[in-house]
Amino acid sequence: MDFQQVFGKPPETQASAPGRVNLLGEHTDYNDGFVLPTAIPQSTTVELGLSSDGHHHFYSENLDEQVSILDINHSPSGFASYIFGCIEVLQKAGYIIPSLSVYVTSSVPMGSGLSSSAALEVATLRALRQLLNLPIDDVEIAQFAQQAEIHYAGVQCGIMDQMASSLADTEHILFLDTRTLERRVMPLPENAEILVIDSGVPRTLATSGYNQRRAECEEAARSLGVKALRDITDVKVTEKLPEPLRRRARHVVTEDNRVLEVLQGVTSERFGELMNASHASLRDDYEVSLPALDTLVEILQKTEGVFGARLTGAGFGGACVALVKSGQSKDIATHVLEQYKQAGYTGKILVPSLELSDAA
């Protein structure tokens, strides 16, 4: 079904936003740290029109699910919570939002750590900006999107995902200082391209694990007398902390330092080494990996043509990202997925997008 079939009239505007994959800087954004995401080819599209009955109506094509907001004091769950959150944060900022009909379709994989939620939020806010001619820029869109996710989806997220969806493209890496929002667009490492493989183990962000890690980092920062762990540059400073705070802080400090090293300019080989070190840190110090992710990363790291690989996203399932030699990603993926299957798992290639390239 399309917008016309669901709501009985054509949409008045539409907007899209991409998912993202993070190459380095995992779990650093809510510690005021540094990140290196890039956009992926898959995107979410939101079509908007005015509702005729005074209520909001949201429809997800992927889920074939419709949600009507009959009581604005009652926040919905699922996909509707992100859209409702975007409307609410705009209203709290003083913008008047009429009753809306919203139609969502997406090619961003859900539960893979590629920020399907941020893509939905940014696409919704872009469509609202167009429909209502709102005077908000792309950074403000990311900030509103983050507030929507925190307050209405219950995820204490940093701003990386929303900034990447709002500002990044698929041809470059976006360096972002999540405290100052200073950013720099950088080319991908020379003679390299990005490969993303889904582990086949779905994950959800609004879990105790993610919010627990954030709380542990905040406790570690308080113990060290700093505003955020980004203010610690020497990893030796973390040694005075009790476990598990010591390992949590050590991951954040070393991960920030890895991103800052890339900022100075590194070869593809060195970039890959930093990705490998990042995965080991996420596995051992931050403890957000799983056997399936470790197996997939290990296979990738041992495969010829792969510079480096790591889990991407919050962890606890989802996808792995690898930096590989240009032009070799599909051959490498075929080999890796066969090895992964022999290990008892079922994965699939997400980037480069076979569906999107076949349709082109």
Active site residues: 161
Please measure the distance between the N-terminal and C-terminal CA atoms of the chain and give it in whole angstroms.
23
Closest CA to 145 of 165, 130, 131: 165
**DSSP percent split of the chain into helix, strand, coil, nearest 5:** 45, 25, 35
Q: Yes or no: say if 259 and 25 are a contact pair by the CB < 8 Å rule.
A: yes
Q: What is the dihedral of CA 255, 138, 185, 313, to 10 degrees?
A: 30
Helix/strand/coil for 286: coil
Question: Which 8-state DSSP code applies to residue 241?
Answer: S
Specify whether the CB–CB gap between 300 and 286 falls below 8 A.
Answer: no
CA–CA distance, 13 with 8 (Å, rounded to integer):
15
The C-alpha atoms of residue 119 and residue 92 are separated, in whole angstroms, by 21
> Could you tell me if residue 95 is left (phi over 0), alpha (psi between -120 and 50 degrees) or otherwise beta?
beta
Beta bridge partners of 16: 45
- Give the β-pairing of 172-177 and 34-50: antiparallel
CA pair distance 184, 124, nearest whole angstrom: 25
Cβ neighbour number for residue 141 with a 10 Å cutoff: 26
The residues, any chain, with a CB within 8 Å of residue 244's CB and separated by 6 or more, are 216, 287
For the chain, how many residues are written?
360
